Amino acid sequence: MPSKTKPEGHDDAAARGGESEPVFSVPDYRAPRPRRPDVVSLAALMTARLLRLKPRHGPKVTGVVVRDGLEVPRWAMTLGILLTLLIFLALLALFFVSGEARAASLGVINLDKPTKDWYQGPVRYILTSQEVKAYKSLETEVDRQNFIDWFWKRRDFDPTTPANEYRARFEQRVFETLRMFGDTVKPGWKTDMGKIYIVVGPPDEMNKDTMAKTHRGIVTWVYRKPPFPDLPTNTVIAFAKTPDGEFHLSTSPTLDSDVARGLQFSRVKRTADDRVLRPGLGDPALLAAGAPVNQSEMELRMIAARLQQLPPYEEEMFRAFASTREFYQNIPAQSRFDFYRAGDGTTYTMLTVAVKSTAVQYKSIGGREVPDVGVFGKLINKNDASDVYALAGDSNFTESLENATAGPDDPLIFQAIGNFKPGKYQLVLGIEDRVSKKIASLRQEVDVPDLGGAGLTLSSITLAGTMEPEDYTPRSAKPYYLGKFRIVPRPESRFRPSDELNVYFQVYNPAPSEESGRPNLNVLYAFRSIAEDGTSTDMGAYQIKESAAQVQGYAVPLEKWPEGHYEVKVRVKDNVSGAVIVSPAIPFDIKSD
């Protein structure tokens, strides 16, 4: 008989009505497990969608584009990444911008601009009271600029060099204070640390928060050899951070900086690191920096006051300066401009200054009495005040060789040269007698001509006391040298009967001759005497015919000329083109000693 199988899930015990027994099913490991749903964050999902790393689930209808609202075009994603990178780099550059750039952008530093409040800037630390009073009395911008130029010039450690070492050092210290002490609401140079840093210089040692257990706001400076003979070696000063967030010069930094615990009001002054402050034993912060144990409060105050003053050698130098009226002493001087064509479109200019030798004091050097005079200045474009030409590199003008043998009635000659753009300028000139500490001012309107025209043109007609041919031509521009001539102009246009009147000029754009290819010029020198009433009398003329030279020089002995006032005109005719040009009348005087 065929066997009967039990239907699946039949339970004999249940059929018998008895208690059921537990049935343990054996899992089938071959069957696929049901897929657990992905658990992801919303941020991860959005990031994946934005990066298009995971497409949308579900079927897509053929031919139908289903856009995902979270998807972004690749060009937009690339643009976003680039913009983010640019913003990051800009913030990085802004963070690391130098103190100098920040100072310039904030306009907190003014060392040279002739503003009315210039004396209230960093220069306040080195200005004398007389100089402050003098500067405040000046009314025009030109006078203030002139004052500022002389202010730095007088403080130049070495006037023989083009650079002003004192000003460069001062400017560097000011900008260093912005970088080092600019973490407060004040500019670094206005802080106590900034003032001492500028006036005295950087310390040999800087220590911050010397009391490591308390981390209080204390900074100590140590000067191993302070520039003050009355201060001891290893001079220590301290700065304490007060409730206003600023570091102030302090003689008791432990008390002044421990404001949170109110240590200065405690009966028993015990620091956070369990030190008891006892009178007469010195401040722990100062002692830790190397200050003497027995240093009194009075000594500390004296040191603090001394380090806010100029070092003795600088203070003595500055005290020698007087008020503006004394600065502007009368030192008779005259200036002369001579203009020549340059190859780059500018005008080669020689500025010669004559100083009356009897108006300055002499000093003894090697058994000889010699003057010590300095001349400095600049040209300011009247149409653009920012266009400034410093004459002779902001240094002294070059002295003439004749100054070494100048007599009591001979002028002292100085000259500066340069290539200037044609235009209207103002000459600001300073003359300093270093022996008597006097300074004279000179201002003059100057019109620099354009000699680059196409027609027949003349340079300046230079009247010189010395015109000597040289065996060589300087490779670069050099004062007193024009080509192969050494020329010393006479700014005062005054000659003795024993002198020679030397006339020098250059001719531009003459037409060349067809035969020789060279110019063919007739040059006429016409002299006239000028009477006291202004009338003139012809004194004769000297002519040079068919000259091929574009550089002309003529020497006239004056021994037979009577004393008086004269003038000379130069007339040049181009025999090839027929063009004629006549110079203005150039006055000169003949006078014996």
> How does pLDDT run across 76-131, given as a tens digit for each residue?
767 888 888 889 888 877 655 544 444 444 445 888 888 999 999 999 999 888 88
Residue bearing the bigger pLDDT, 520 or 245: 520
Share of the chain above pLDDT 70, in %: 74
Hey, what are 59's tokens?
């079927």
Q: Please report the pLDDT score of residue 163 as a whole number.
A: 79
Residue bearing the bigger pLDDT, 205 or 5: 205
Map tokens 């009477």 to a residue. Answer: 531
Mind listing the pLDDT tens digit for each residue in 364-412? Answer: 888 888 888 888 888 888 888 777 787 754 456 889 999 888 887 889 9
- 569 located within any domain: yes
pLDDT band (50, 70, 90) for residue 2: very low
Statement to judge: residues 138 and 239 lie in one domain: yes
Residue bearing the bigger pLDDT, 397 or 580: 580
DSSP one-letter string for 315-348: HHHHHT---HHHHB----EEEEEEEEE-TTSSEE
pLDDT band (50, 70, 90) for residue 446: very high
Domain boundary among 289, 315, 341: 315
- 564 located within any domain: yes
Domain boundary among 416, 450, 484: 450
Candidates 588, 308, 575; CA nearest to 464 is 588
Statement to judge: residues 387 and 412 lie in one domain: yes
pLDDT band (50, 70, 90) for residue 269: low
- 209 located within any domain: yes
CATH number reported for the structural domain that contains residue 368 in this entry:
2.60.40
- 393 located within any domain: yes
Contact 585, 527 (CB under 8 A): no
CA triplet 132, 183, 304: central angle to 5 degrees? 55
Domain boundary among 256, 284, 315: 315
Statement to judge: residues 183 and 301 lie in one domain: yes
Statement to judge: residues 144 and 214 lie in one domain: yes
Residue bearing the bigger pLDDT, 432 or 1: 432
User: Crossing angle for the helix pair 129-136 and 141-154, nearest 10 degrees?
Assistant: 160
Share of the chain above pLDDT 90, in %: 33
Q: Which long-range contacts (CB under 8 A, 24 or more apart) does 475-481 make?
A: 477/348, 477/417, 477/419, 478/417, 479/350, 479/397, 479/398, 479/415, 479/416, 479/417, 480/398, 480/400, 480/415
Measure the N-to-C terminal CA separation of the chain; round to a whole number of Å: 168
Q: Please report the pLDDT score of residue 100 as a whole number.
A: 44
Q: Are strands 438-448 and 457-458 parallel, antiparallel or unpaired?
A: unpaired
Average pLDDT on 160-180 reads 87
Statement to judge: residues 411 and 461 lie in one domain: no
Range of 397's domain? Answer: 329-450
Hey, what are 44's tokens?
């991860």
Map tokens 């609202």 to a residue. Answer: 69
- 137 located within any domain: yes
Q: Please report the pLDDT score of residue 176 as a whole number.
A: 93
Average pLDDT on 313-324 reads 53
Write the single-letter amino acid at 378: K
Residues across the chain: 593
Q: Per the structure, how many domains does the chain have?
A: 3
Statement to judge: residues 272 and 334 lie in one domain: no
Q: How far apart are CA 575 and CA 546, in angstroms?
A: 8
Q: Please report the pLDDT score of residue 583 as a whole number.
A: 96
**CA 51 distance to own-chain centroid:** 52
Statement to judge: residues 310 and 296 lie in one domain: yes
Statement to judge: residues 506 and 546 lie in one domain: yes
Hey, what are 231's tokens?
């201060």
- 215 located within any domain: yes
pTM: 0.57
Highest-confidence segment of 182-186, 292-296, 476-480, 524-528: 524-528
Supply the mean pLDDT for the chain: 79
Statement to judge: residues 414 and 474 lie in one domain: no
Give Cα separations from 404 to 158, 174, 372 (angstroms).
21, 41, 11
Statement to judge: residues 159 and 265 lie in one domain: yes
pLDDT band (50, 70, 90) for residue 472: confident
What are the E-state strand segments in 359-410? 362-365, 368-371, 373-381, 388-390, 398-399
CA dihedral 553, 559, 563, 569 (to 10 degrees): -20
- 365 located within any domain: yes
Highest-confidence segment of 39-53, 234-248, 563-577: 563-577
- 533 located within any domain: yes
Q: How far apart are CA 415 and CA 477, in angstroms?
A: 12
Statement to judge: residues 371 and 470 lie in one domain: no
Statement to judge: residues 426 and 550 lie in one domain: no
